[in-house]
Structure 1
Amino acid sequence: MKFSINKLKAAFGTNKTNNGQDNSAYTNEIINAVEGEPFALSETNVMYAGMSELAGYHYFKTIIIGTFKIKTFKGAKLIINGENFKLELPSDMLELNSETAPNRNITAIDFEIDKKDLPKIGRSKIQSLELSAKKEKIVFNIIEITKDEEE
């Protein structure tokens, strides 16, 4: 997963405000403005995600774009709900701070994952994701986007 916060902020530089837009149009604008395939979708947020390894440690890297905004020194937690499993992943860093772009927030969070749990992380095996940070809780549903759905 290769995203730059600066490039993401620049992509949203010309977007108009969300006043009066419905949530579906809002999330579709995000999807259309960002290169890459989204991993999951909540009512007003789009999650881009991928796996990464550094020095033998494994991470589930996420970027959440939308209304989610956080500034905390207590970290976050991601619960991955699958058909026959539930994983609870802590954020790699305790200090989290959303970046602001016109009418959107961009939040990058990496979650530590055990090597034995890597096979569980796949679109077909996950039913939903629950992101908790501070007093916020967002439920994401996995989405499938094909090239035929481009508008």
Structure 2
Amino acid sequence: MKFSITKLKAAFGTNKSVEEQHDNTYTEAIINDVEGAPFAMSNTNVMYAGMSELAGYHYFKTIIIGTFKIKTFKGAKLIINGEGFKLELKSDMLELNSESSAVPNRNITAIDFEIDEEDLPKISRSKIQSLELSAKKEKIVFDIIENTKEEEE
């Protein structure tokens, strides 16, 4: 009788490579389904982000699509780890609520973070190494996605 330890482990759900492959497929599906270029990605979430200004206040606007699901009245925190700096941004709203997507097991969460004007130049793909989103007991680490050819054109 011939069998594979890898296949046996996968059958019982203890094979990390199978989980990573599933996560990669999951995040690729999100990127393919959503128009626009993603800013950062975690194992099972994709972050779309950009800057915005309203009445002299600056915001780092994010939309997280994936398994992240939150309902809180305590807000969220985003730590931006960059080359020689670390920024801690707080959400502009304390009440946050994820919305369900038409796709099963996929949620959409929009969070805007207040940012000081002097910190604006630090918010670029080339200067950021990772992002840490914390809300309630959830913590997600996002890695920056390099510029795509579509963005450069």
TM-score when scaled to structure 1? 0.83
Show CA shifts across 1:38-79 (max 9, x none): 000000000000000000000000000000000000000000
- The alpha-carbon deviation at position 146 of structure 1 amounts to 2.2
AA of the residue aligned to 1:39? F
> Which structure has greater helix proportion?
2
CA deviation map 1:11-55 (0-9, x unaligned): xxxxxxxxx970000000000001100000000000000000000
With the length of structure 2 as denominator, give the TM-score of the two structures.
0.82
Relative contact order (alpha carbons < 8 A, sep ≥ 6): 1 or 2 greater? 1
The count of corresponding residues between Structure 1 and Structure 2 is 129
Question: Once the 2 structures are TM-superposed, how far is the Cα of residue 147 of structure 1 from its aligned partner?
Answer: 3.6
2: CA distance, partners of 1:131 / 1:49: 13
Larger Rg belongs to? 2
Structure-1 residue corresponding to 2:55: 55
Q: Distance in 2 between matches of 1:106 and 1:81?
A: 24
Identity %: 82
- What residue in structure 2 maps to residue 97 of structure 1? 97
- Deviating runs (4+, > 2 A) in structure 1? 145-148
Q: Which runs of structure 2 are paired with 1:103-122 in the superposition (5 Å)?
A: 103=104, 104-122=106-124
3-state secondary structure, aligned to 2:80 = strand
The answer for the alignment partner of 1:83 in structure 2 is 83
